Chain A
Amino acid sequence: MSSFWKNLTKGIVKSNPTFILMLGLCPTLAVSTSLDNAVGMTAAFVVVLVLSNIIVSAIRNYVPDRVRIPVFIVIIATLVSVVDLMMQGFMPALSKSLGIYIPLIVVNCIILGRAEAFARRNGILDSIADGLGIGIGFGVAIFLISFIRELLGTGKLELFGFKLFSIPGLDQNPAAIFLFPMGAFLVIGLLLALFRQLGVSKYE
């Protein structure tokens, strides 16, 4: 198995950023209320993470250890601002639906975590693979959480305006608690336990 493929797949289950590394839980709690949010956040997140990994990997031999964290933070903050401005300028429709998630990415510590733990020690190609894998892993996690929260919290599932299905009865009297932070903690906690019980937490 090539290292590119290995680095890509490890982020999805074995070192899933949300359930195994337990990074970036704060923005995950905040946006995982609907499938739309999950898809939007994942798309914006993957772009920024891959770009950040590429840049950090490219300059890894020149960054002095003592100032690496501030350097990474400046890079990530700049990237997020550039992506935000570009989307507002050139893709206003997309920016309208994703716009609120972009600034949230800057506080997502997964990106800094990958710069620190992976990109500054590995080549560009492997760093791209890592960014994609971790991005997909984040997407899988937030999609699962959103799926449960939207289904129980509203009694139905929708994706970009299309009604997927609804549970008769529950859609009239949904368990709105799942849309609140309390419900987010419950769902994340149970999924975490499930992931660990399934024995996928071999990552040390």
Chain B
Amino acid sequence: MRKSEAYPVLFLTFVVLVAVVVLTLTNSITRDKIALAKKQAVAEMLSALFPNMDSFTYDDKTGTYTILADKTTIGYAFTAEGRGYGGPIDILIGLKPDNKTLQGIRIISQQETPGLGAKIVEASFLDQFSGISVDQVKLARNGGKIDAITGATISSTAVVKGVRNAIEQRLGKGGTG
């Protein structure tokens, strides 16, 4: 059997079949847990943006989270994407109920240069977005309220543009200028 011409083919087929079984099993064990963990991660990020949050609802069509406290809406949240230096930057944007003021933003995922662009996840950069109006989401040199990170203009611009574009798209072009 071991000397047969077919043995290598059969062995490789066997190994691949075992791999398929192992992966299928692992996937079925972990699928629900991974989905749950992702939901929890979103919930944690939302409650970091809206400390008073009691609960939230999610609308699949618009991709908007409505944040509730005492059954009244205290804000909306949705995701945006910026084009960074190292790849896409996923951003979570929190808006106050007036749809014109930012509650704040958080970075969901990014691949910017550590020590430079990756500073966009730090509070000193993110806090600049809290409480400003949509019109003010520009870099300071363009008349806005956001100071770019030294040496990481591309990453800073990516976040600013991603946030602006997402909000403008959401409100419809020309809504707030």
Instruction: Tell me the A residues contacting B by CB distance below 8 Å.
Output: 33-34, 37, 62-64, 66-67, 70-71, 74-75, 77-78, 81-82, 85-86, 88-90, 92, 95-96, 100, 150, 153-154, 174, 176, 179-180
Instruction: Tell me the B residues contacting A by CB distance below 8 Å.
Output: 2, 7-9, 11-12, 15-16, 19, 22-23, 26-27, 29-31, 33-34, 37, 40-41, 111, 113-116, 151
B91 CB to nearest chain A CB (Å): 17
A34 in contact with B115 given A66-B8, A86-B26, A86-B30 (CB within 8 Å):
yes
A72 CB to nearest chain B CB (Å): 10
Task: Report Cα–Cα, A75/B17, bound state, in Å.
Answer: 11
Task: Report Cα–Cα, A88/B35, bound state, in Å.
Answer: 9
Q: Which residues of B contact A90 (CB under 8 A)?
A: 30, 33
Q: Which residues of B contact A86 (CB under 8 A)?
A: 26, 30
B41 near A92: Cβ-Cβ < 8 Å? yes
Closest 10 CB pairs of A and B: A89-B30, A89-B33, A92-B37, A64-B8, A154-B115, A33-B114, A78-B19, A67-B8, A85-B30, A67-B12
Task: Report Cα–Cα, A174/B40, bound state, in Å.
Answer: 37
Q: Which residues of A contact B22 (CB under 8 A)?
A: 78, 82
- B-side interface mostly: helix
B121 CB to nearest chain A CB (Å): 12
Which of A66, A82, A95 lies in contact with B23, CB distance below 8 A? A82
Task: Report Cα–Cα, A58/B177, bound state, in Å.
Answer: 66
Most buried by B among A34, A78, A153: A78
B3 CB to nearest chain A CB (Å): 10
Q: A81-B23, A92-B40, A179-B116 provided; 16 other pairs, C-beta below 8 A?
A: A34-B115, A62-B11, A64-B8, A66-B8, A67-B8, A74-B12, A74-B15, A85-B34, A88-B33, A89-B31, A90-B33, A92-B37, A95-B37, A150-B115, A153-B115, A179-B115
